[in-house]
Amino acid sequence: MKLYPLTFNPVFSYRIWGGNKLKSVLNKSYSQDNIGESWEISDVEDNQTIVNNGNLKGNTLKDLIKTFKGNFLGHKVYQTFGNNFPLLIKFIDAKTPLSIQVHPSNQLAKKRHNSFGKNEMWYVMQAENEAELIVGFNQKISKEDYVNHLKNNTLKDILNIETVTSGDTFYIPTGRVHAIGAGVLLAEIQQTSNITYRIYDYDRVDKKTGQKRELHTNLALDAINYDFYKKYKTDYNQVLNTPNQLVNSEYFKTNIIELNTKLTRDVTAIDSFIIYICVLGEVIINTPDDATNYSLKMGQTIIIPACINLITIHANSAKLIEVYL
């Protein structure tokens, strides 16, 4: 059977802080309230996304890897990750703030949870007036300083708070304390991991359980990077009709492509699957030997298997995030 560009049914997740923008802005279809996350491409156990187009409809990422191996993932990627898909792609709608949290490193996550760590990035698609994110600390602190602020309920005094707008991008390496604030809709690219240490949750009660959510105070202490950085936001070029680098890490590489015409990408040298996330407008994607026009609108995602080396993208006015290893 032949590989082709693949789209998936998202997995929707209730969150205490979730709103309705995944439906009202990104046109997702669901009936529940407080849906905070749309998992677009996921190999996380019990939250696996399923192919919804073409002859491979009904397959999971695991099924695809087992059948097509390096032709789907890329040969180097397959050598490294085997039958595990390395990335998780989400859209997140924060009606109210997320908990202040941190993710463990690969080493710590492996030791404690037999999991990958969770290096991730955010691309802000929409932000209400004065919407904020928390990323890192605003000063150099010690573990003891941190514990004292936590005990005294003054944690926010030492956190770096950024007012954000559409297009703002942040890389969140493991160990960096962070939180998405109220009124932010964003795309998240991360390692395949569901390990989060919750540090502070505003003493909220979850209406579904009638309980406050669990905090992971002690687990977080050894996971946090207490260093201070002068800049947390990612600067990037915005040249039309060409890939502009966003994040270039060992865990994933991302570009932003703003299009108002046709772009042909020869990706032979990449040797990786490529994910396209439409964050504005609409594009049409074509590949050789395939007569199908693959339409991708804002809030939709597609995987181009590694064996496809030429991609043509048409748009009048659109923005894509390009993701690969």
Query: Domain segments of the chain: what residues?
Result: 8-221, 244-324
Same fold, 8-221 and 244-324: yes
Residue 214 pLDDT: 86
Residue 267 pLDDT: 96
**Could you say which DSSP state residue 98 is in?**
P
Q: How many CA atoms lie within 13 A of 129 on its CB side?
A: 0
Residue 117 pLDDT: 84
Residue 207 pLDDT: 81
**Could you say which DSSP state residue 230 is in?**
S
Distance CA 112, CA 141 (A): 25
Mean pLDDT taken over the chain = 95
pTM score of the predicted model: 0.95
**244-324 maps to which CATH number?**
2.60.120.10
Residue 124 pLDDT: 98
Residue 13 pLDDT: 95
Name the CATH architecture for the domain at 8-221.
Sandwich (2.60)
Nearest to 189 by CA among 267, 275, 77, 269: 275
Residue 273 pLDDT: 98
- Here the tokens at position 221 are 């202490």
Residues (pLDDT < 50) of the chain are none
Contact 177, 100 (CB under 8 A): yes
Three-state secondary structure call for residue 238: coil
Nearest to 191 by CA among 259, 252, 249: 252
Give the C-alpha distances (Å, rounded to integers) separating 93 from 20, 106, 177: 7, 27, 19
Give the C-alpha distances (Å, rounded to integers) separating 196 from 113, 119, 166, 261, 265: 11, 11, 25, 41, 36
Residue 87 pLDDT: 97
